[in-house]
Amino acid sequence: MRRRSATILTLALAACSSPKIDLTKAPDTPPLQPYKLPAIHETKLANGMAVTLVEDKRFPLVTARLGFRAGSRFDPAAQYGLSETVASLLKEGTATRSARQIAEELAQIGADLSASAGADSLMVSGNSLSEHAARLLDLVADVARNASFPQDELDLRKQNRMQELQLERSQSETLADEQLHKAVFGAHPYAKTIPSPAAIQSIKRADLVTYRDKLLVAGGAVLVLVGDIGTREKAMELIQSKFGSWPATQPPAAAEIPLPAAAKSLTLIDRPGSAQVDVQVGHIGVNRMAPEYFPLLVGSTILGGGASSRMFINIREKQGFAYHASSHHAPMKETGLFSAVTQVREEVLEPAIQAVQAEMTKMGKEPVAADELSDVKNYLNGNFVMSLANQSGLANQLAALKMNGVSNEYLEKYVTSVRATEAAAVQAAAANYIDPQKSAMVVVGDASKIRKVVEKFGPVKVEKAN
What domains appear along the chain, each with residue ranges and CATH number? 40-243 (3.30.830.10), 265-464 (3.30.830.10)
pLDDT of 454 strictly over 50: yes
Q: Are 101 and 88 a contacting pair, CB within 8 Å?
A: no
Question: How would residue 25 be classed by pLDDT, with cut points 50, 70 and 90?
Answer: low
Over residues 211-262, the pLDDT tens digits come to 999 999 999 899 999 999 989 999 999 999 999 999 999 999 988 999 999 9
pTM confidence score: 0.90
- Determine the pLDDT at residue 460: 97
Single out the residue of 251, 452, 264 nearest to residue 357, CA to CA.
264
The C-alpha atoms of residue 380 and residue 464 are separated, in whole angstroms, by 39
Single out the residue of 285, 214, 258, 246 nearest to residue 71, CA to CA.
214
Q: How many CB atoms lie within 10 A of CB 340?
A: 26
The C-alpha atoms of residue 248 and residue 3 are separated, in whole angstroms, by 78
Average pLDDT for 32-60: 91
Which of 31-45 are b and which e, b meaning 16 or more Cβ less than 10 Å from the residue's Cβ? Answer: ebeebeeeeeeeeeb
The per-residue pLDDT of the chain, averaged, comes to 93
